[in-house]
Protein backbone atom coordinates (compact mmCIF):
# COMPACT_ATOMS: atom_id res chain seq x y z
CA UNK A 1 0.00 0.00 0.00
CA UNK A 2 0.98 3.61 -0.33
CA UNK A 3 -0.11 6.59 1.77
CA UNK A 4 -0.56 9.79 -0.24
CA UNK A 5 -1.35 13.38 0.65
CA UNK A 6 -3.37 15.30 -1.93
CA UNK A 7 -4.29 18.96 -2.07
CA UNK A 8 -5.97 21.35 -4.46
CA UNK A 9 -3.90 24.44 -5.29
CA UNK A 10 -7.14 26.47 -5.23
CA UNK A 11 -7.92 25.45 -1.64
CA UNK A 12 -4.79 26.27 0.37
CA UNK A 13 -4.55 24.60 3.75
CA UNK A 14 -6.88 21.72 2.91
CA UNK A 15 -5.59 18.27 2.13
CA UNK A 16 -6.80 14.70 2.03
CA UNK A 17 -5.01 11.46 2.69
CA UNK A 18 -5.45 8.48 0.40
CA UNK A 19 -4.39 4.87 0.81
CA UNK A 20 -3.95 2.88 -2.38
CA UNK A 21 -2.83 -0.67 -2.96
CA UNK A 22 -2.59 -3.20 -5.75
CA UNK A 23 -2.05 -6.90 -5.14
CA UNK A 24 0.63 -7.15 -7.84
CA UNK A 25 2.55 -3.98 -6.90
CA UNK A 26 6.07 -4.47 -5.59
CA UNK A 27 6.86 -0.80 -4.90
CA UNK A 28 4.99 2.25 -3.57
CA UNK A 29 5.19 3.94 -6.97
CA UNK A 30 3.50 0.94 -8.61
CA UNK A 31 0.55 1.22 -6.23
CA UNK A 32 0.34 4.98 -6.69
CA UNK A 33 0.73 5.27 -10.48
CA UNK A 34 -2.93 4.92 -11.54
CA UNK A 35 -4.03 7.42 -8.89
CA UNK A 36 -1.21 9.84 -9.75
CA UNK A 37 -2.36 9.96 -13.37
CA UNK A 38 -5.89 10.87 -12.27
CA UNK A 39 -4.71 13.47 -9.75
CA UNK A 40 -2.42 15.19 -12.24
CA UNK A 41 -5.16 15.23 -14.89
CA UNK A 42 -7.39 16.99 -12.34
CA UNK A 43 -4.67 19.55 -11.53
CA UNK A 44 -4.17 18.32 -7.97
CA UNK A 45 -0.87 18.22 -6.08
CA UNK A 46 0.24 15.01 -4.41
CA UNK A 47 3.08 13.50 -2.46
CA UNK A 48 3.83 10.03 -1.19
CA UNK A 49 4.16 9.96 2.59
CA UNK A 50 5.06 6.30 2.95
CA UNK A 51 3.58 2.88 2.75
CA UNK A 52 4.10 -0.75 3.47
CA UNK A 53 2.48 -4.12 3.04
CA UNK A 54 -0.93 -5.53 3.88
CA UNK A 55 -1.30 -9.25 4.50
CA UNK A 56 -4.88 -10.54 4.65
CA UNK A 57 -6.05 -14.01 5.63
CA UNK A 58 -9.74 -14.69 5.08
CA UNK A 59 -9.30 -18.12 6.64
CA UNK A 60 -7.94 -16.70 9.90
CA UNK A 61 -9.98 -13.48 9.67
CA UNK A 62 -6.75 -11.56 10.15
CA UNK A 63 -5.28 -8.40 8.68
CA UNK A 64 -1.63 -7.50 9.23
CA UNK A 65 -0.39 -4.04 8.17
CA UNK A 66 3.31 -3.28 8.41
CA UNK A 67 5.85 -0.80 7.11
CA UNK A 68 8.26 -1.70 4.39
Give the model confidence (pLDDT) of 8-33 as tens digits.
888 888 899 999 988 888 878 888 99
Q: Could you say which of 17, 28, 64, 68 is catalytic?
A: 28
The answer to whether residues 3 and 53 touch, using CB atoms and an 8 Å cutoff, is no
Quick check: is 28 catalytic?
yes
Number of domains in the chain: 1
Domain extent for 27 = 2-67
Q: What is the mean pLDDT of residues 50-64?
A: 91
Model-wide pTM > 0.75: yes
Of all residues in the chain, the percent with pLDDT exceeding 70 is 99
pLDDT of residue 19: 93
What's the Cα-to-Cα distance from 1 to each of 10, 33, 37, 47, rounded to whole Å? 28, 12, 17, 14
Amino acid sequence: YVLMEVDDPDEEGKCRHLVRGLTWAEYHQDSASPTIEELEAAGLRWRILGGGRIRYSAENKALHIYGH
